[in-house]
Chains A and B, each alone.
Chain A
């Protein structure tokens, strides 16, 4: 899932304070799971904005709502017309939602209420960790299912650097050394010797470094064109 964190309230207030009619719009998929931007958070944030506006004697009409996904047309169709009536939509979806809505809403600005962070998992409630770098060329078969791109602070491909300290990364004692985990996992799988081979320089053109990416599923596009 995509993981994000709500921006600090003061930063949100600075963005929002000049607008009179504001819609706080949540997204009930990934960003709701990480308690940053679902319908509950939209409700809470709208209440905080109302209180702040009253305290600051700013005239502001704040509404809130949420749709299932801010990244697909079908979920926007019923609400787009209504959203266009606001002076500002404060989207607390991930950045994908903000982009997607901005391209469809016309003259109304869409501002982000969330800092989108990473592709991660939820190993325990309230705890989210980055697990995939979205690099466009997966190597998890070579590394025991542990991503060296996202989980090694230096995205190394050929084993640990000299900074591994008691299984932790040199960047922080709170970060596990990915290569320490990879070596242990490969031992467990009986495939440690796979790590002895030198991995050549990567082709990063399939990652963000090749420019913005697109995926086209041909057979679905064909069906749509026929329709």
Chain B
């Protein structure tokens, strides 16, 4: 065992792993984290705690992860390269490990210009860091864990033992380079991979075949990312505007049909689309788990954590394996 985390145990056992996502609030309200943690607890093996996603200031990933851990939900803390240099990163790894955190997802992070893309003012004038990139961050964590050394070479009396994750956008541009992008993260030391949200399963199968041809499925655990669709509008937006995401027309049509079935009743339209969205999610999960080399799913119900229970049960993935002593 590299970290002894629950997620690592599930993956090692050969059962399909389920991770979910918990977005911390834009306030110092611990109850929001506690509420979401209890909605997810028992229905996933670990939950990612996002690190100021879309560059918006929120409760820090480590603090929210610790609150989740206290509630009995295993967290996957996230660390972006945007906000910290290697000194702050390593200090946070030591602190997080000392608090009992065992999983970490390393990501580049959305550019700070995203923070003002919506209705928020954000901090588009912030200075970013990018002292290291994702591959380098993964390498730093691995060196700390396996060699007991800081990046600079100083020794660690007690090394932080993390199960190291990285993200992968399999269908991003330039698409023929993406399998090598994954390879670099695996070479750097990624134990598990969570992908960008996938709707186009056929194209994902092609990319996974390329990853298998490089032998990557035997060196890392790839969890297919599924973003739970809430509405036809959301699917259209993801298709047109989110990098590396393409949504097949049939899925958008299904959501539109669900919406139209409600007529002028807006509340009903929302309900029917959410139901259809959960159905689509379950189908995508089942299709993803059939792809050779896929070791689990990463289900993101963004600001809709309560949907996870139904989805996981409907997908036949409940109860989750229990490794507690």
A179-223, CB < 8 A from B? 179-180, 183-184, 192, 195-196, 198-202, 204
Q: How far is the CA of A154 from the CA of B82 in the complex (A)?
A: 8
Q: A171-B111, A201-B151 are in contact. Are A154 and B174 (CB under 8 A)?
A: no
- Can you name the residue of chain B whose Cβ is closest to the Cβ of A152? B130
Contact at A180–B173, with CB atoms within 8 Å? yes
Q: Which of A162, A163, A167, A200 has the most CB of B within 10 A?
A: A162
Chain A residues with Cβ below 8 Å from B243 are 162-165, 170
Contact at B167–A162, with CB atoms within 8 Å? yes
Contact at B81–A201, with CB atoms within 8 Å? no
Q: A156 at the A/B interface (Cβ < 8 Å)?
A: yes
Chain A residues with Cβ below 8 Å from B140 are 201
Q: How far is the CA of A198 from the CA of B133 in the complex (A)?
A: 11
Q: How far is the CA of A163 from the CA of B130 in the complex (A)?
A: 15
Q: How far is the CA of A113 from the CA of B227 in the complex (A)?
A: 50
Q: How far is the CA of A170 from the CA of B188 in the complex (A)?
A: 25
Q: How far is the CA of A165 from the CA of B134 in the complex (A)?
A: 19
Contact at A159–B184, with CB atoms within 8 Å? yes
Q: How far is the CA of A97 from the CA of B168 in the complex (A)?
A: 46
- Can you name the residue of chain A whose Cβ is closest to the Cβ of B131? A204
Chain A residues with Cβ below 8 Å from B82 are 154
B92-117, CB < 8 A from A? 108-111, 113-114
Q: A154-B128, A171-B113 are in contact. Are A159 and B177 (CB under 8 A)?
A: yes
Q: A162-B108, A162-B169 are in contact. Are A200 and B136 (CB under 8 A)?
A: yes
Q: Mark A146-184, 1 if CB is under 8 A from B, else 0.
A: 000000011111111111111100111000010110011
The one of A153, A156, A167, A198 that contacts B173, using a Cβ cutoff of 8 Å: A167
A interface residues (Cβ-Cβ under 8 A, vs B): 153-167, 170-172, 177, 179-180, 183-184, 192, 195-196, 198-202, 204
B interface residues (Cβ-Cβ under 8 A, vs A): 81-82, 86, 108-111, 113-114, 128, 130-136, 139-140, 151, 167-169, 172-174, 177, 180-181, 183-184, 187-188, 196, 241-244
